[in-house]
Amino acid sequence: MHADPLQLLAAENPVPAARLTGAAGRPEAAALREHVLAAGGERPARGARRRRLAIGLAVACVAAAAAVVPAALLPDERIGASPVAAQALEDLATTAAEQPGIAWATTPGVQLYSRTHVLWSASSAGESGPFVALVPHTIETWVDRDGAGRRRDVPEAPVFLGDRDRALWVRDGNSLAAAPPEETRSNRLDWTFSYLPEGCADAACAVKIPVRELPTDVPSLGRLLHEYGADLATRDGQDPSGAAFREIAELLGAPTASPGLRATLFRVAAELRGVELIAPEAAPQLQPELELRAGRPIDLTDLTIVGFIHTDNGARIREEIVLDERTAAVVATRLVLLDRTYWIDAEPPAVIGYEVFDEIAWVNSASSHP
């Protein structure tokens, strides 16, 4: 049996309590990260691949070996993604392995800079009923070759998909203004894969692996993702394949993921039960949303979208990974609510979360921009 949606919201990307007042400042305040549906039909023929690196970074290519993910990751009788999704993911794996990767600079002070635009949610059970506020953020990070760096989070004013949630948000004493920016500096700001292995109850025994050190063969990486999914299934009642899909999306978006790792992630995703191909025209608000946040024109014909659906208390939520098929780069990840539900005042299909990957570049210091 799956956890209540409000518990799932609280389990992913929480909004710091210091940013909220009233009931929304309780532990229920959290960021949404959930699941995915797909459109059927045959996969269109791919256009000629153009050798263009979206992030403009150079180094050698690494080819990933194709193998079989552990059967334990596939608990159902259906093995792997749909045929069209599996073919799309194999195409993306081939393209990813052909791309240059990151050549870490040896010059002192040089930083890897990235900027993303995200939509997180602050939720509350509330005395008058549950509600959700959607809060856009711009996240900038600066990381050096040793994993130290700086993170800047600039939130915008909350937005609401329905009048009920706005009224309940205000009634609980929350502000309609944007929260102040937050700065974080750390010696360990590098992108990391972490989970609690079987028998581990707290962070003290958690497995933490820098993304740049993850294995690039399918069996080894598949086993890690299986353990990650099993951990969330035990603690939060999440579907293990859905949890693995969600983590694959996160890892694909990590700037430090090598070409070999990204190719392997696509091949592991192809072995997950329930992964489907989604037609870009079936993804609501996709083009205007991407163009607004990325600040550039987006051609839907260059995009491949794969997704996973999860049903909780009668409401389907779909997680989409939007990819540039020319480079296999992640353009965005999105959450789409597909059914009316009690915990958010929204008319489906509605986008209730996203991360748009805007820019990755080398800069000369942790205070400079491209």
| Single pTM value for the model | 0.76
Boundaries of every domain in the chain: 30-107+183-360
For β-strands 192-195 and 182-186, DSSP reports them as: unpaired
Q: What value, to the nearest 5°, has the Cα angle with vertex 293 and ends 291 and 294?
A: 65
Q: In a structure prediction context, what are the per-residue pLDDT tens digits for the chain, which is 370 residues long?
A: 334 444 444 344 333 333 333 333 333 333 332 332 333 334 444 443 332 223 222 222 222 222 333 333 433 333 467 899 999 999 999 999 999 887 776 677 789 999 999 999 988 887 778 999 999 999 999 998 888 889 999 999 999 999 999 999 999 889 999 999 999 998 777 788 988 877 777 777 888 898 989 999 999 999 999 988 888 888 888 888 999 999 999 999 998 899 999 999 999 999 999 999 999 888 888 888 888 877 778 888 899 999 999 877 678 999 999 999 999 999 999 999 999 999 999 999 999 999 999 888 899 888 888 8
Q: Say which residue the tokens 């789409």 belong to.
A: 336
Are the beta carbons of 36 and 338 closer than 8 angstroms?
Answer: no
Q: Which helix (H) or strand (E) holds 207?
A: strand 207-210
Q: Could you tell me the two tokens for 18?
A: 């210091």
- Helix boundaries (H) for the chain: 5-11, 83-98, 163-171, 218-236, 240-252, 259-270, 286-294
